[in-house]
Amino acid sequence: MPLIGSSSGAVSQSLEEKAQLCSACHGENGVPQDPATPVIWGQHEGYLYIELRDYKRGNRKNEQMSAIVEGLERDDLLALAAYFAKKPWPNLSQPRAGSDDTTHAERVAGSAQCPQCHLNGYLGDSTQPRLAGQNHDYLLKTMQDFRSGARANNDWMTALLQKYSDDDIGALAKYLAGL
């Protein structure tokens, strides 16, 4: 997929063409190819934009995403966030968490007040991301990354998750993925 230029030789690409670049990993139909890649279809516009901006600023680090946003301007990031937010959230058909994991996750979520920000059903809004039905492996990885500081674009989430164990985070990932 060329990063610049098109078959007509024009230097600027349409929004559709830019969005095509994303489908290679985030999925043609919104289902990511790799389970450690997040769903972006139907995620909230404000949140999508903040993440793209943070990758571009280097506040959130990921080799693949950094390479992608390098060639994009702020207007592109805003347009792409709006574009993907309008798509339907895909059904990844992940299993519901078992009763032990559910009880464990609900206990942690209650003490940490996760639904206060991620809202009922973990559907999120605006700059609070949807977590329900997100890819399990991605949820696990990104919560571990917040905790270790590898994902350092939100100090508050880092401080919160540092209070919890690997087992707690494992149960939360299974629970949220299966919603």
| Contacting residues toward ligand HEC, per CB under 6 A | 18, 21-22, 24-26, 37-38, 40, 48, 50-52, 60, 62, 64-65, 68, 80, 108-109, 112-114, 116-118, 127-129, 131, 134, 139, 142-143, 153-154, 157, 160, 172
Pick 70 or 100: Cβ nearer ligand HEC:
70
DSSP string, 98-109: PHHHHHHHHHHH
Residue 105: HSE in the Cβ half-sphere, 13 Å Cα cutoff: 21
CB of 133 to ligand HEC, least distance (A): 11
DSSP string, 119-174: -GGG--BTTBPP-TT--HHHHHHHHHHHHHTSB-S-HHHHHHHTTS-HHHHHHHHH
With beta carbons less than 8 A apart as the criterion, state whether 158 and 88 touch: no
With beta carbons less than 8 A apart as the criterion, state whether 83 and 15 touch: yes
CB of 94 to ligand HEC, least distance (A): 14
Which SS3 state, helix, strand or coil, does residue 53 take? helix
Pick 9 or 139: Cβ nearer ligand HEC:
139
CB of 118 to ligand HEC, least distance (A): 6
CB of 158 to ligand HEC, least distance (A): 10
CB of 36 to ligand HEC, least distance (A): 6
Structure tokens given for 17:
């063409």
Pick 99 or 137: Cβ nearer ligand HEC:
137
* Distance (Å, whole) CA 41 – CA 139: 16
